[in-house]
Amino acid sequence: MNVIKCRAAVAWEPTAALMMEEIEVAPPQEGEIRIKVVATGVCHTDLYHLFEGKDKRGFPTVLGHEGAGVVESVGPGVTDFKPGDKVIPLFLSQCGECKFCKCPKTNLCDRNWSSKYHDIMSDPTTRFTCRDRPILQFMGTSTFSEYTVINQIAVAKIDDDAPLERVCLLGCGISTGYGAAVNTAGVTPGSVCAVFGLGAVGLAAVMGCKNAGASRIFAVDINEQKFEKAKVFGATDFLNPKAYNKPISEVLAEMTNGGVDFSLECVGNTEVMRTALESCVKGWGVSVLVGWTDVKDFSARPIQLISGKTWKGSLFGGFKSKDSVPNLVCDYMTGKIKLDEFITHKMSLEQVNDAINLMKTGQCIRCILNISK
C-alpha cells in the first residue's frame, strides 16, 4: 500500500492559527484502518487543546475528533471492515479485552491514548508527517485531514445509508451530552433538571433530559441567544445568571422548592461545576461533570455531599463507543434523537480558522467542515 499525500489543517503550536499543509499519511499497519474523512464537526475540546491546555508537547498536531468517513484501506489482521464501509472514528476506544471494557459499569478502555497521554491529548505514535516532521494525531483521530489512520478498536462501522455530514456529530459532542443525561445522571421520568452551558454538548444534554421524561428542564447560560435553540431540544425554563444579584443556585432552589433532582455542567469551568452541585436538592440530587478540563482544581464544601448529594463525571456520555455509536446513528435515522438542529454553519476545510473563531465567540452551535466528496 502507498503513502497518501493530502490536505490537512496543521496546528504547529499553541494559540496559533491552523495552517493548510500537504501531509503524508502512511499505510495502515497491523489492526489499523485508513479512512477518507468526509465531514467533521468543530468541538470545543479542539479549542481547549489549542487555547487552554497549551502543552507544547502536544504539538504539532492535526486537530479534529468529531468526524465521519469511508474506509480507504485496511491493514493486516482487520476483518470487520472493508474499503467503502461508512465509519465514525472514536476518540474513546473499545478493545473489548481490558478490565474496563469487560466491566459494564464503565466505558473506559485501557488501550486508549488517554490512559497514558491525557496531558498531551495524543499518543506519540503517529502515521502523519509534514515537512519531514512527525505530526501528532489529536485524540487518536485527527479529522481535520482528508485521510487519517486509526486502530480498529477506535472505529465504529455504521449504516450504509447514514448521512456522514450529520452523523459525524455522534463522534463526540452529541453522544457526550445526551449520554451524560440518560446514562450517567440517569434522569428519571417526572424529574426536574438543570443544564449549565448551552453549546452542542449542553443542548444534547437537554435533549437527553427530555427523552428521559423530565418534567422541567432549566437551561442556564450567560448568552441568552442560546435560549431559543434550547427550547427546540425541550428546555422549559431559561436562566441567565448575570440577570440576578444572587447566586443562580439560590435562584434555582427558590424556583424548585429546594433544588433540582439532576444538574449537568456542560461548560468545562470549575466554578460552574461547583454551582451545578449547589443547585441540586439535598438527599438525592445528582450533579454530573461533562465539560472537559484538566488545568484547574475543583472544590466544594463537604456538607454538599454529606447531605446526600452525588457528584460524578461522564466521558463520552458513558457510552461504550464501538457498541453504542452504530445504535445512536440508527436512533437519529428513526427520529429518536435530533442532529440537524445542532448544525448552524457549513464550511470547507480551508475555512477552519473561521469556524474556530465562530465557536470561540459563541456564534455557532456546530459548524460542519466538508473535508472531501
Provide mean pLDDT across the span 74-81: 96
Q: How far is CA 1 from the centre of its chain?
A: 32
Indicate if the pLDDT at residue 54 is higher than 80.
Answer: no
pTM for this structure? 0.95
Contacts of 327 (CB under 8 A, 6+ apart): none
Strand 19-25 and strand 86-89: the pairing is unpaired
* pLDDT at 341 (0 to 100): 97
Look up residue 121 and give its DSSP letter.
Answer: T
238-292 confidence digits (pLDDT tens): 999 999 999 999 999 999 999 999 999 999 999 999 999 999 999 999 999 999 8
Dist CA 373 CA 369 (whole Å): 12
Q: Which CATH number fits domain 4-171+338-370: 3.30.420.40, 3.90.180.10, 3.40.440.10, 1.10.3210.10?
A: 3.90.180.10
* pLDDT at 293 (0 to 100): 84
Percent of the chain residues past pLDDT 90, beyond the cut: 91
Dist CA 35 CA 84 (whole Å): 9
Dist CA 24 CA 211 (whole Å): 44
* pLDDT at 317 (0 to 100): 98
Q: Where are the domains of the chain?
A: 4-171+338-370, 177-314
Q: Which three cell numbers stand for residue 323?
A: 457498541
* pLDDT at 365 (0 to 100): 93
Question: Sign (positive/negative) of CA torsion 302, 304, 307, 310?
Answer: negative
Dist CA 47 CA 65 (whole Å): 12
Indicate if the pLDDT at residue 303 is higher than 80.
Answer: yes
Dist CA 283 CA 270 (whole Å): 23
Indicate if the pLDDT at residue 112 is higher than 90.
Answer: no
Torsion angles phi and psi, residue 82, rounded to 5:
-140, 155
Fold of 177-314: Rossmann fold (3.40.50)
Task: Return the SS3 of 356.
Answer: helix
* pLDDT at 294 (0 to 100): 82
**Half-sphere exposure in the Cβ direction for 216 (13 Å, CA):** 14
First-to-last alpha carbon distance for the chain, in angstroms, is 22
Indicate if the pLDDT at residue 351 is higher than 90.
Answer: yes
* pLDDT at 14 (0 to 100): 93
Q: Which of 132, 150, 124, 139 is nearest to 21 (CA)?
A: 132
